[in-house]
Each structure stands twice: as C-alpha cells, then as structure tokens.
Chains A and B, each alone.
Chain A
Amino acid sequence: MKDEFILRIENITKDFPGIRALSDVSFKIKKGDIHGLCGENGAGKSTLVKILAGVYPYNTYEGKIYFNDEELKFTHFSIQQAIKKGIAVVYQELALVPQMTVGENIFLGREPEEKGAISWNRLYSDTKDILKRYKLNIPIFAKLSTLSVGKQQMVEIAKAVSQEVKVLILDEPTSALTEAEINSLMEILKHLKDNGVTCIYISHKLEEFFRITDNITVLRDGQVVNTVKTTDTSVEKVITMMVGREMKERFPAGNRKPGEKILEVKGLSVDDPSAQGKTKIKDVSFDLKKGEILGIAGLMGSGRSELVTAIFGEYGKQITGEIFLEGKAVKIRSARDAVNYGISLVPEDRKKMGLVLMQAVYENISLPNIGKFSNALRIDKYRELKACQKYADDLTIKTPSLFTITESLSGGNQQKVVIAKWLMSSPKILILDDPTRGIDVGTKYEIYKLINKLAENGIAIIMISSELEEVLGMSDRIMIMHEGKCTRILDRKDATQEKIMAFASGINNYSEV
C-alpha cells in the first residue's frame, strides 16, 4: 500500500541565518505521477528541491524523506548520492558547458572509458540511443552554444534521464521557452511518464500545471498550503492558495489616455554582421504615443528584442532607417545616447544585462543616475540613499536593507530593482523586455499595476512579452513580429490570442472570423 508513494516528505524544516525557509513541510508523491509544485518566489520551492537533490546534506535540515520507504540520508558527496539513487534535477539556470558538444554534455562526469581513455565512439552511440529513446531531435555533435534555449533544456533532460532517473525534478523549465518548445517539452514529459519516471514540476505558468500534472502541492511562506488533485481544482483556486487572498483579476484595469506622438520609427533595419545579406530587423515602422502601452508579441528569434535594443543604440551604425523623437530626427548610436534622450530599457536578461549582481541594491538603483547626486568631486551618499529608499518603498522592493547584495534578492525583487533604477532617471520612454519572466503571480500583478501607473503619468511604454495573455491584458496596441518584420499592429479590441499567434507564425492571410 505504501509502495504507491515513491517519495514521502515528512515534517521538513530548514533554517537559514535569520530566516526559516521551510517549516514543517509534509507531502507525498505517487509513483509515476507528474507532481506540480507551485508557490510565489521565496515560498521555499527551490530550497525543497535542493534538499531532495542533496545540495543541502542530511542533518542541515530537520525532518525525514522516504524514497521507496527507505529513509534518505545523504551525507558525504550528497549530490552524487542523490543522482545514484535516481533523483535528478533540471535547474532553471542550465548546468551545461556551452563549449562542449551535446554528447559530451550528456556524459559529463561519467564518460565511458576503455583502457583509461575516453571511448568517443561509445559515448556518441549511447547519446544517439538515449535521444532516440525519448524522441528528442537534437544533433549529437552540435556545440551546445549553437542550440536554442529550448534544445539546451532538452539536452539537460536527456542528461538526467540517461542516468537511470526515477524522480526527475524540473525547476521552472519553461521560463525561457517559446510556445512551440513548451509543447514539445510537454510531449517529452508525457513520454517519460509512460516510461514510469516520476516528475516534480515547478513553474510560474499555472496553465501548464493543468496541461500535464496529476497533483499539485502549493507552498506559501515555507509551509504547505494544500496538496490537491489537478482535476479537482482551477487556476483561480490555485492562485488564491498561493497568494493567500483572492485575486479577482490577473491584470489591473488601467485608466490611460494616450496623448501626442512621442516616438516614430520609420523603415528601421539592422543588418546581421555574422551573415552576409541577412537582416536581424527588416523595415520596421511604428509610432508610440505618450501614456500609451505598446505591446510587442512574437516568438523568440522574431526580432522583438533586437528591435528594442536597436532603438536603444545597441547596434551603433549598423542600423538604417529613421527615428523621430518628439518630431525631431535623432541618431542613437549607443546606450549613452538613448539614456540622454530619455529612453530607458529594462533588458530581457536582468542578471546578465540589467544588474551588477555583486553590488548593493542602492548602487544598482543609482547607477545610471549618480549624476543627480554628485559633482565632479564627490557623491552625496546620503542624498543618494534617501532617493533610493524612496524608490525602494514606492516599488515595495522586499530587501533587508539598501546595502544588501542584489544577488541575494528573489527574481521578482531583482526585477523591481532594475525598474527602480530606470524610473529614477525619469524617462520619457520606458522599454520593458519581458519584464515578468520568472516572476510569481503576486509580484507580477504589482508590476502590472506599476506599469499602468507609469503610463497614466504620461510615460510612453513599449512592453515585450512572451505570454500572450499578458500582451492582451496590458497593451493599448499590439505589434506582432515575425522573422524581423512587423507583420501587423492591432488595436487591443481587435486582438485575440488566435490572431496574434497566426501573425506571429507568419500566416498573413488569417481569415478574420
């Protein structure tokens, strides 16, 4: 009877200096299930995963974990022990070596040897077998860096399943994937399930839970709120459990009145320097009004990020076409120019491009704005701190203090720091590139409210999003991109998810029914 549960987690409590990450967490996972695990950022999901994976060895936490009725006690080399037992994790940040091939990555750390030398033939033939078994369509000799994020994720999964995995833990696998890639990931998970692999699935995209999971456990503030059968619940109920209060709507209603035209882009093109004759962006024209939110939708690689970085001066002199700011033609050749013209960009990858992670929160917020608090000789540090405090309060950034290292904040709060930094520079145009990626529902809502407020105050906003609902829920107009071209600009009232998907996939004669 007990055998039906592969994992039983009993009364797990884990403390970190000054904070209790998990408190008396208990739940069970059925063999062969896909078990969803959800909760807001900081609810304790990642900590739990790390305990299961042996990152935090036995005795650093209280409570018991039973794996097939046997208590798990990982002490030495705990991560390897966990892998040997058959518990593998696919982390949010991929743990692969970009310079190595697919095969090398899958067998990293356990390369097949013959007489003390690596047997490359066996390595690659085994790789081929594994990929074939799980119907993964990936070239085995390709360098990992040449693959899309989605393909890389699949390599990571292949690596995990090739180690005789019994429990596969996926920590936000879809946060960087396109719609099509998510679909094939779902297929793979179903296939794994048919082969008897148990999965623990963590995501911020709640719809996904209802596509594949059997049961859902909701965590809040380090405690289990409930474990429910997926078929017995709904998105709204799960959200209510996560945030602890009822959320009536996913998107706050705005009261925006777009004003006069502030930005006009005519015939913007960017050549791709790596390939002759190819262009990253081709002949894009659009305009933007004060106090308007222009959503940009498109698949990954459609040129949506390239378009906004081009406006932000990333490509220097490679761009052709004209940009008019408040009626005057301007030339933006660098980020510096863009900032001086009052354009701000919250970049797609906040860790790589938005933040200096090793620095304190206040240093990040004031980075583009130090000029306001300083002359040539000194920075007025107290005035700086005061101003940063104001923005931190306005945006409700949850941080122990302004001196906390940014790296230790949760994803949502890091994103707020990036937004705070650009708000302080009082921009006329704010460009947000996928601002809610990897952020939980509650914080998302706060960010939406913030964006609405900014637009109401007359800031023109361009917002890229991977989530169609978000584009639909937030934008006044929606621009859809496909292969570097703008295929259509729709008004909010004319737009539907189906239309956007059609134009984003390059179908131009979508019948308007």
Chain B
Amino acid sequence: MKSFNIIDKIKINIKTYTLIIALLIIWLLFAFLTDWIFFSPRNLSNLFRQMTIVSFLSIGMTLVIITGNIDLSVGSLTGLISAMAAYLQAYTLAPLISGLFPNISIVALGILSTIITIIVCLLAGLLIGIYQGYIIAYLRVPAFIVTLGGMLVFRGGVLGITQGRTVVPVENSLRWIAQGYLPKNLGMLVAVIAVIVIFLMSLQNRKKKIQYGFELKPLAYDLLTASVYSALVFGSILIVNDYRGIQNPVIIMIVIAIMITYLSNNTRFGRYVYALGGNIEATKLSGINVQSIIFKVFILMGLLCGVAGIVLTGYVAAGTIGGGMNYELSAIAGCVIGGVSLMGGKGTIIGALIGALIMASPRME
C-alpha cells in the first residue's frame, strides 16, 4: 500500500510539472541546435522580454477563458492602443504641452507626455473593456461574436490612426519603459526582498495552520520549498544581471502576474470566476451576480490590453499598422498550452505564463 502511494504521488507530480518538463526539453533542443548559444544570458534575457507583451494578454485571457468566454479582439486592441500612444506622442502632446508651459525643458516635456499617454491609453483600454464586457455580460451576446467584431473594428481603427504609415517618433521615456533595464544593484535588492517575503509567507502560513489546528508539514519541508523558490529567484536575476539586468517590462509582467494570481486565488472575485466557469447555473443559484463577474473580467482584459499596447509602442518605438497582429492567437495558445481549459473553470496564471514562454521560445532569433 505504501509503495503504491509513492508511485501515485510521482504520477500526480509529473502531471503538474509536464509543462515545465516540456519547456526544458524545447530549450534543450534549441540549445543543442544553436551550440548552446540559446542559454547565453543575452538570449535568455531577450527571451523574457519578448514574451512580455503577449504575456499581459495571456494573463487577462486566462480569466476570460476560465469564465468560459473568449476574447478575439485583444491583438487588434493592443495594436489600436499602441497606435494611439504613438500618435499622441508624435503629433498631439508635444505641441499641446509646450503651448501650455512655454518654458518646459525637453526632458520634462517628454516625461509629462509619457505620463499623459499612459493614462489615456489605460483609460482607452478600460473603456473598451467596459463596452465589450457590457454587451457580453448584460446584453448576453456571445463573446465570440462581440470580440470578433471588435477585432475587425479595432484593426480598422489602427489603419485610421496611422493612415497606413509608421507613426514616429516616441519619447525616450516611453521607450525606457519597454527597453530599459533595472540597475543591477537594484535588481539584487529586489531579489533579496523577494526571498525575505517568500520565507515570511511560508512562516505566516505555518502560524495560521497552527492557529486553526491543521496538519503541518515538517518545518524542514517548508523551509526547503521556500529555499528552492528563493534559489530560482536568485538564479534568474544572476543570469539576467550577467547581461544587462532585469528589463523593465519583465518587472511589470511579474508584478501584474502576482497581482492577478492573488486576485484569482485569494479573493471572492477570483473564487466566483472559477465557480461560474465550472457551473454557471449552480453559481447563479448560490446567489452570486454572475453577470457582474463576467463584466469585470472583460474590463480587466481591456485594461491589460492597454498595458500591452503601451509596452508594444515603447518596444518598437513607433506605432505600426501591423502592431499586435495575431497576438490574440498567441495569447489564447499560451493559455491552452498552459492548461487553461477552453470549457471553463480550470487554469492558472502561472500555467498561462509558462505557456506564453513556450510560445515565445521558438521565435527567438
């Protein structure tokens, strides 16, 4: 009976880690084919940066798919917001700001322009999320139809804004958001703080378990797990520091991923998202306002498209016609590869991120 359990456990664990194993195999294959250049700090560093834009979309898409819906418009919306950001910076904001403050320095003007751009872009994403979410949740039009329409309309919007040309230039401060690096010392500081938080949380959990009288795992086990996570954090930062440091967009991605993971695991909203994806009828009969949950999920998706659009503009340093083209497919593929069930009810943010990483890996040059 005992040995039986151990085999069982290994089976379960293999299931959980299939994704990571698949990722490692893909990486090893590429590394082998590229004379191990694939594992160079520069390449890994770029890989992480490349995955960020689609990752923002995958994170939002995870929640959308868990509710049993889909959003096909995210690629076009990212492109639209990216074009908007570039247009604001290239044509609108600079003359406007210097008209209002004639004596402003060029650097200050740039930063002010970027801040306004960010706010406007996030607002645009939010509003479009509200608009699509309202139609889907309250008017009960299938998400596939609404967002398919959105996909076509927003793509048209990109053409309208760019007039078929590439919109340049954008401010350096906007480029810094997507292309800059965190100073190496600061990176180490972040790593140290992260490790402290990991250990504190682990201890906090033990305290809670004791308080409510739940079974405890041996202290050594918990400490070991925490140490493994810490080593992973440190290792990653050491690798990227070996090149130029952590990229800013990667930090944004990690922060958002942590926030949304928390949201999905530790809040009522998150619990309802999973429940309604699993069985909407039972959730409704439990007295939960399912429409408002779906509405909020789409608002969040719109907001994340805003973030992706801003980072995209900074990354290519321009607004282009093809911006965000087919990103919806990559985002959805990332989710599905990462174990998010298209039937709804199942999936995790971290899974979707690993899926996005797998999707990004073959695209490295």
Q: Residues of A with Cβ closer than 8 Å to B?
A: 17-18, 312, 335-336, 338-340, 345, 347, 352-359, 363, 367-368, 370-371, 374, 376-379, 381-383, 385-386, 421
User: Contacts A18-B4, A353-B282, A386-B212 given: A378-B266 contact, CB under 8 Å?
Assistant: yes
Q: Are B281's CB and A339's CB within 8 A?
A: no
CA distance in complex: A340, B288 (Å): 10
Nearest residue (CB) in B for A369 is B286
B209 at the interface (CB under 8 A from A): yes
Q: What distance in Å separates the Cβ of B281 from its nearest Cβ neighbour in chain A? A: 5
Of the candidates B4, B208, B282, B287, the one whose C-beta lies within 8 Å of that of A356 is: B282
Q: What distance in Å separates the Cβ of B269 from its nearest Cβ neighbour in chain A? A: 9
Q: What distance in Å separates the Cβ of A446 from its nearest Cβ neighbour in chain B? A: 23
Nearest residue (CB) in B for A359 is B278
Of the candidates A17, A18, A370, A386, the one whose C-beta lies within 8 Å of that of B268 is: A370
Q: Are B212's CB and A336's CB within 8 A?
A: no
Q: How many residues of B contact A (CB 8 A)?
A: 30
Q: A374-B267, A385-B214, A386-B214 are in contact. List 8 more A-B contacts (CB 8 A).
A: A17-B8, A335-B287, A336-B288, A367-B271, A370-B272, A377-B267, A383-B212, A386-B213
In the complex, which residues of chain A have a beta carbon less than 8 angstroms from the beta carbon of B286?
335, 339, 367-368, 421
Of the candidates B262, B279, B289, the one whose C-beta lies within 8 Å of that of A357 is: B279
Q: Are A347's CB and B279's CB within 8 A?
A: no
User: Contacts A358-B278, A359-B274, A359-B278 given: A379-B267 contact, CB under 8 Å?
Assistant: yes
B43 at the interface (CB under 8 A from A): no
B283 at the interface (CB under 8 A from A): yes
B346 at the interface (CB under 8 A from A): yes
In the complex, which residues of chain B have a beta carbon less than 8 angstroms from the beta carbon of A357?
278-279
In the complex, which residues of chain B have a beta carbon less than 8 angstroms from the beta carbon of A385?
212, 214
Per-residue 0/1 for B328-354: is the Cβ within 8 Å of any A Cβ (1 yes, 0 no)? Answer: 000000000000000001100000000
Q: Which of B281-297 contact A (CB under 8 A)?
A: 281-289
Q: Are B289's CB and A336's CB within 8 A?
A: yes
In the complex, which residues of chain A have a beta carbon less than 8 angstroms from the beta carbon of B262?
378
18 A-B pairs in the complex with CB atoms less than 8 angstroms apart: A18-B4, A18-B5, A335-B285, A336-B288, A354-B282, A355-B279, A356-B275, A358-B279, A358-B345, A368-B286, A371-B268, A378-B267, A379-B266, A383-B212, A385-B212, A386-B213, A386-B214, A421-B286
Q: Are A368's CB and B288's CB within 8 A?
A: yes
Per-residue 0/1 for B193-214: is the Cβ within 8 Å of any A Cβ (1 yes, 0 no)? Answer: 0000000000000001101111
Q: Are A336's CB and B287's CB within 8 A?
A: yes
In the complex, which residues of chain A have a beta carbon less than 8 angstroms from the beta carbon of B285?
312, 335, 345, 347, 353-354
CA distance in complex: A297, B304 (Å): 53
CA distance in complex: A4, B234 (Å): 75
Most chain A beta carbons < 10 A, residue from B278, B286, B346 = B286
Most chain A beta carbons < 10 A, residue from B262, B278, B287 = B287
CA distance in complex: A119, B217 (Å): 65
Nearest residue (CB) in B for A17 is B8
Q: Are B287's CB and A340's CB within 8 A?
A: yes
Nearest residue (CB) in A for B284 is A335
**Across chains A and B, which 5 residue pairs bring their CB atoms closest together, nearest first?**
A339-B287, A356-B278, A368-B286, A382-B212, A356-B279
In the complex, which residues of chain A have a beta carbon less than 8 angstroms from the beta carbon of B279?
352-353, 355-358
CA distance in complex: A379, B275 (Å): 15
Nearest residue (CB) in B for A374 is B268
CA distance in complex: A312, B287 (Å): 10
Nearest residue (CB) in B for A366 is B271
In the complex, which residues of chain A have a beta carbon less than 8 angstroms from the beta carbon of B281?
352-353
Per-residue 0/1 for B44-79: is the Cβ within 8 Å of any A Cβ (1 yes, 0 no)? Answer: 000000000000000000000000000000000000
Q: Are A363's CB and B271's CB within 8 A?
A: yes
CA distance in complex: A195, B213 (Å): 63
Q: What distance in Å separates the Cβ of B68 from its nearest Cβ neighbour in chain A? A: 12
Nearest residue (CB) in A for B262 is A378
In the complex, which residues of chain B have a beta carbon less than 8 angstroms from the beta carbon of A383?
212
CA distance in complex: A345, B282 (Å): 11
CA distance in complex: A381, B209 (Å): 10
Nearest residue (CB) in A for B346 is A358
Per DSSP, are chain A's interface residues mostly helix, strand or loop, or mixed? helix
Q: What distance in Å separates the Cβ of B278 from its nearest Cβ neighbour in chain A? A: 4
CA distance in complex: A345, B285 (Å): 8
Q: Which of B201-233 contact A (CB under 8 A)?
A: 208-209, 211-214
Q: What distance in Å separates the Cβ of A14 from its nearest Cβ neighbour in chain B? A: 15
Q: What distance in Å separates the Cβ of B276 from its nearest Cβ neighbour in chain A? A: 8
Q: Are B268's CB and A359's CB within 8 A?
A: no
In the complex, which residues of chain A have a beta carbon less than 8 angstroms from the beta carbon of B208?
382
In the complex, which residues of chain A have a beta carbon less than 8 angstroms from the beta carbon of B271?
363, 367, 370, 379
Q: What distance in Å separates the Cβ of B15 from its nearest Cβ neighbour in chain A? A: 14
Nearest residue (CB) in A for B275 is A356
Nearest residue (CB) in B for A379 is B266
In the complex, which residues of chain A have a beta carbon less than 8 angstroms from the beta carbon of B214?
382, 385-386
Q: What distance in Å separates the Cβ of B296 from its nearest Cβ neighbour in chain A? A: 13
CA distance in complex: A385, B281 (Å): 24
CA distance in complex: A398, B282 (Å): 22
Q: Are A368's CB and B278's CB within 8 A?
A: no
CA distance in complex: A345, B286 (Å): 9
Nearest residue (CB) in A for B343 is A358
Q: Are B268's CB and A356's CB within 8 A?
A: no
Nearest residue (CB) in B for A380 is B208
CA distance in complex: A336, B266 (Å): 22
CA distance in complex: A167, B211 (Å): 58
CA distance in complex: A336, B262 (Å): 26
Q: Are B4's CB and A355's CB within 8 A?
A: no
CA distance in complex: A198, B267 (Å): 56
Q: What distance in Å separates the Cβ of A371 from its nearest Cβ neighbour in chain B? A: 7
In the complex, which residues of chain B have a beta carbon less than 8 angstroms from the beta carbon of A377?
267
User: Contacts A358-B345, A363-B271, A363-B275 given: A382-B209 contact, CB under 8 Å?
Assistant: yes
In the complex, which residues of chain A have a beta carbon less than 8 angstroms from the beta carbon of B266?
378-379, 381
CA distance in complex: A172, B89 (Å): 70
Q: What distance in Å separates the Cβ of A372 from its nearest Cβ neighbour in chain B? A: 11
CA distance in complex: A353, B282 (Å): 4
Most chain A beta carbons < 10 A, residue from B274, B279, B281, B346 = B279
In the complex, which residues of chain B have a beta carbon less than 8 angstroms from the beta carbon of A354?
282, 285
Per-residue 0/1 for B114-125: is the Cβ within 8 Å of any A Cβ (1 yes, 0 no)? Answer: 000000000000
Nearest residue (CB) in A for B280 is A356
CA distance in complex: A258, B34 (Å): 81
In the complex, which residues of chain B have a beta carbon less than 8 angstroms from the beta carbon of A347?
285
CA distance in complex: A374, B212 (Å): 16
In the complex, which residues of chain B have a beta carbon less than 8 angstroms from the beta carbon of A363?
271, 274-275
Q: What distance in Å separates the Cβ of B192 from its nearest Cβ neighbour in chain A? A: 25
Most chain A beta carbons < 10 A, residue from B4, B8, B262, B278 = B278
Q: What distance in Å separates the Cβ of A385 from its nearest Cβ neighbour in chain B? A: 7
Q: What distance in Å separates the Cβ of A422 from its nearest Cβ neighbour in chain B? A: 9
Q: Are A355's CB and B287's CB within 8 A?
A: no
CA distance in complex: A339, B274 (Å): 20
Nearest residue (CB) in A for B210 is A382
CA distance in complex: A381, B211 (Å): 12
Nearest residue (CB) in A for B209 is A382
CA distance in complex: A358, B346 (Å): 8
In the complex, which residues of chain B have a beta carbon less than 8 angstroms from the beta carbon of A371?
268
CA distance in complex: A196, B278 (Å): 45
In the complex, which residues of chain B have a beta carbon less than 8 angstroms from the beta carbon of A18?
4-5, 8
CA distance in complex: A367, B293 (Å): 14
In the complex, which residues of chain B have a beta carbon less than 8 angstroms from the beta carbon of A376?
267
In the complex, which residues of chain B have a beta carbon less than 8 angstroms from the beta carbon of A356?
274-275, 278-279, 282-283, 345
CA distance in complex: A335, B208 (Å): 34
Most chain B beta carbons < 10 A, residue from A18, A335, A356, A368 = A356
In the complex, which residues of chain B have a beta carbon less than 8 angstroms from the beta carbon of A17?
4, 8
